[in-house]
Every structure is written in structure tokens, then in C-alpha cells.
Amino acid sequence: MGAVLSHEVVDRELAERQLAWSRDEDRLVKVVKAGDFDGALAYVNAVGALAQAADHHPDIDIRWDTVTLVLTTHSDGGLTERDLDLAGRIDQLGTGAP
């Protein structure tokens, strides 16, 4: 189990790591426009591979070309380093747009 991070620590880490996520209470949220449905599926599959490798899985919502990712560590009841680390790896995928 990881230590739950305070909102202040999460906000500072988002800025310092230059992560393209926003904090919504105890969740990190990222919305990506992937150009079309095929692009959205490809992006989700790439995120899925990272999530499997990390054994940490975001909630994923697909709406045609828009993918919304939500990260939190459910087992710990808030945001942990695992969320920030996976957010950073997901950001390295780019925006998903063609």
C-alpha cells in the first residue's frame, strides 16, 4: 500500500513534473482528443499496456474521439505516487491526435 498524498503535494508534483492532468479532489483526470474513434481505441490500447505493466489501472471513458482517463488508488483511498508515476508514463504517449 502507498501513502495517500495531500492535495498540496499532488498539485506541486503535477506542476513540477509538468503532467498534463488536473486534480479533481482525490482523482487525476486527463481528457484526450484522438481525432476519430480508431485513434481513441489505439490510444486506449496503449494506455492499457502501460496500466497492465504497472498493475495500476485508470478508469477509462471513450466518447467517439474523446478519451477521459481517471486515476486514483482505490485500495488506499486517494492519490499516491503510483498515480503520478502512471500519469507521467501515459503523458509520454502524447495526445493521441494524429
pTM value is 0.92
pLDDT in the model for residue 94:
81
The domain limits of the chain are 7-91
- Residue 1 pLDDT level (bands cut at 50, 70, 90): low
- Residue 63 pLDDT level (bands cut at 50, 70, 90): very high
7-91: CATH class: alpha beta
pLDDT above 90: residue 40: yes
Q: What is the average pLDDT across 71-97?
A: 91
Place of cell 482505490: 74
Please name which of 21, 7, 14, 36 lies closest in space to residue 69, comparing C-alpha atoms: 21
pLDDT in the model for residue 5:
96
pLDDT above 80: residue 42: yes
Amino acid at 59: D
pLDDT above 60: residue 96: no
Beta-carbon contacts of 61 under 8 Å, excluding residues fewer than 6 positions away, are 67, 68, 70
